[in-house]
Amino acid sequence: MALLLPKKFSDYQKEGHLWITLSSGEYYPDILPLACEFYKPVLVLFGQFLAQAHSSTDLLMAISQLSEQWMRVQLARVFRKYVSPETPVEMLKQKRKAQTICDNFGGGFRAITEVQKRFGARPIPDEALCAILWEYKDRGKKGYDLTERFFILLREQFPTLQLSGPERAGKDVLLGTIFHKYTKIDRPIDFLICDDEKILAVGLARYDSDRGGAQEDDRTGQYRDCANEVLTYATKHNLPTKVIFLNDGPGLLLGSMWRDYAYIEDLYPGRVMVTTLRMIPERLTLEWLTS
């Protein structure tokens, strides 16, 4: 039988600000000199591609042929700002999608002559654009930091257990590769906690710097679906597996996030835990994991 938690996630809400982890940010305009130095080669190369292109689709196809991934992604971001702001960012990152983008979005591309005119009117480096690109640089870093610290903390707290999953960047673990004939084979998770062959818990880790509205509803809906799916499978196959949602950051204090997460935990007493990093020593025990 699952062990009930002595203190629920909802019990921490009144003093929630004491239980979240704050990641340090960077000040504006202090970042500008470094941002301009960092992204100047990107803008110079974009200008070279732009000067040789005879159409906006030709420009994108030329960018997509670049073999160096980091530079290609940066050029694609500049392309989106100047040529096609409606094109999904994730599509632009994939070189194999270049022709599809041209076919589906090419009709809305800004004319190459206009792009050349607008680009030529801006300085190199362009402080405004470099500042925008700088915002992308550490996107996801806070989440990676959270996961890394989580792994360190759990290895100290539970030296006999095995942890797996991407500690920073890396591919998610798919539950279809862990559980035999799992309901949704491509269900991604961020970490597994195991005791030899026994899977004690699966979990997701997220750092919310800022969140609300539709994003808020989307996140909690995904969590609810994930918990229901995993626990239904675990019950059917008589597995002790629990679900842990590691969430942190000031976004937890916004809107109804804290209450919504607490509701998910309350739906599955003793089988789902929502926790911040600071709560783990107090809440996540070996007794709960193995119950």
Annotated domain spans of the chain: 9-24+140-290, 32-137
pLDDT of residue 197: 86
279 DSSP 8-state letter: G
Q: What angle do CA 199, 201, 204 make, to 5 degrees?
A: 130
pLDDT of residue 216: 57
Q: How many helices (H) and strands (E) does the chain have?
A: 12, 7
Beta pairing partners, 206: 247
Do the beta carbons of residue 244 and residue 203 sit within 8 Å?
A: yes
Reading the block at residue 184, the tokens are 């949704």
Strand spans (E) along 72-221: 162-164, 173-174, 188-189, 191-195, 198-207
Q: Provide the 10 A C-beta neighbour count for residue 149.
A: 17
pLDDT of residue 211: 58
Please, how many CA atoms are within 13 Å of residue 40, restricted to the half-sphere of its CB? 9
pLDDT of residue 135: 86
- Please list the pLDDT of the chain residue by residue as tens digits (291 residues): 678 888 999 999 999 999 998 776 788 999 999 999 999 999 999 999 999 999 999 999 999 999 999 999 999 999 999 999 999 888 988 888 999 999 999 999 999 999 999 999 999 999 999 999 998 887 767 778 889 999 999 999 999 999 999 887 778 889 999 999 998 999 999 999 999 989 999 999 988 876 554 455 577 888 999 999 999 999 999 999 999 999 998 888 887 889 999 999 999 999 999 999 999 999 999 999 999
For residue 203, the SS3 value is strand
5 DSSP 8-state letter: P
Q: Which of 78, 87, 85, 83 shows the shortest CA–CA distance to 105?
A: 87
Q: What share of the chain is helix, strand, coil (3-state, %, to 5)?
A: 55, 10, 35
Do the beta carbons of residue 55 and residue 105 sit within 8 Å?
A: no
Length of the chain: 291
- The set of long-range contacts for 229-234, using a CB threshold of 8 Å and a minimum separation of 24, is 229/183, 229/184, 229/187, 230/175, 230/187, 230/202, 231/268, 231/271, 231/272, 232/183, 233/179, 233/182, 233/183
Using CB atoms within 10 Å of the CB of residue 249, give its burial: 0 to 12 exposed, 13 to 18 middle, 19+ buried: buried
Q: Pairing mode, if any, of strands 162-164 and 191-195?
A: antiparallel
pLDDT of residue 217: 59
Q: Pairing mode, if any, of strands 188-189 and 173-174?
A: antiparallel
Do the beta carbons of residue 57 and residue 102 sit within 8 Å?
A: yes
